[in-house]
Amino acid sequence: MQQHSNSTVAPPTAYRALDFWAEQGVLHKIPAVNGYILCRHVQHECDSHCQDNTVHHSDFVLVCNQCGAVDEQSLSSEWAALRQRAADNGFMLNDEHIVLTGICTHCQTKLT
C-alpha cells in the first residue's frame, strides 16, 4: 500500500535548498527582484568561459514589469571595465548582478 504525505516544506528549508543551488551555479539569486532564476548555461555544456568562478553567467537580467519574464544576458568584456571603474573609485563590489526592468517584446505587442 502506498502512503501519501500531505506535508509541506518549511520556507527556511526551501530557501536553504535555493541558496545551495545558487552556490553551485545552477540558479542565480537576484535580490533586486527577491527571487532566483535558472542559469541558462546549465542547459548547455559549459565551454571555456565557465572555467573560472567569476561572474560569467548572469551578468545582467532583463525583467518584464508586466508578465515577470526574466531573460539572462552576458556582458563579457564590459564587466572588466565596470570592475576596474569600481576599483578605481575605491569601491569593493559584493554583488555583480545588474537588473534592468521594462516591458518585454511579447507584452509590448499586447499594448499596441
Q: Is there a contact between 36 and 22 (Cβ–Cβ < 8 Å)?
A: yes
Annotated binding site: 56, 64, 67, 104, 107
* C-alpha span between 103 and 63 (Å, rounded): 8
Annotated binding site for Fe cation: 56
* C-alpha span between 73 and 30 (Å, rounded): 13
Residues linked to residue 61 through DSSP beta bridges, in sequence order: 72, 99
Residues linked to residue 63 through DSSP beta bridges, in sequence order: 70, 101
Annotated binding site for Zn(2+): 64, 67, 104, 107
